[in-house]
Homo-oligomer: A and B are copies of this chain.
Amino acid sequence: MTTTKSPDARVAAILDQLAARGMRRTSARQAILEALFAAESHVTAEDIAVEVHRRFPSVDVSTVYRTLDTLEQLGIIDHTHLAHGPAIFHLADDDHQHLVCERCGRVEEVAPEKLEPFLEALRAEFDFDVDRRHFALVGICAACRDR
């Protein structure tokens, strides 16, 4: 399955996917994808731009944004808004809810299954589907509360 392939193989596969849609294989796109696969988690567009710059100094942030946008349209990545500040990006198959502490900025990633009961209850009570992929839950973490 897809998730067991090596990062390089996955990058190549995505580039193939773009080509199949009449899009081009470019070094910028390849470098951006590689940066995405190399990243731990919650990277900003700026982070990716910096990383890509190390190999291709001419690549502009606007290209990074445009590429991230393209990848998101294809369902390959997602972006999430934490509290304030820039959006973060990650591979779409790495699905989770973000709990952000507005005091210390720490971001905790929670598995979908662990959160589902709450979202389900909200759905039942308010007929409202929380979009856990696109927005974080913001609050105070235990460490900051007790300090």
Interface residues, chain A, CB within 8 Å of chain B? 81, 83-84, 99, 101-102, 108, 110, 114, 117-118, 121-122, 125-131, 134-135, 137-142, 145
Decide: A131 and B126 in contact? CB cutoff 8 A: no
Q: How far is the CA of A139 from the CA of B115 in the complex (A)?
A: 15
Q: How far is the CA of A114 from the CA of B122 in the complex (A)?
A: 10
Decide: B102 and A128 in contact? CB cutoff 8 A: no
Decide: A128 and B114 in contact? CB cutoff 8 A: no
Of chain B, the residue at the smallest CB distance from A146 is B127
Of B81, B130, B142, B145, the contact of A137 (CB 8 Å cutoff):
B130
Q: How far is the CA of A127 from the CA of B101 in the complex (A)?
A: 11
Shortest CB-to-CB span from A53 to chain B, Å, is 28
Q: Name 8 extra pairs, CB < 8 A, besides A99-B128, A130-B139, A137-B137.
A: A81-B84, A118-B125, A121-B121, A127-B142, A129-B140, A130-B137, A131-B139, A134-B138
Of chain B, the residue at the smallest CB distance from A136 is B135
Q: How far is the CA of A130 from the CA of B140 in the complex (A)?
A: 7
Chain B residues lying within 8 Å of A128, measured Cβ to Cβ, are 99, 101, 108, 137, 139-142
Chain B residues lying within 8 Å of A99, measured Cβ to Cβ, are 126, 128
Chain B residues lying within 8 Å of A81, measured Cβ to Cβ, are 83-84
Decide: B140 and A138 in contact? CB cutoff 8 A: no
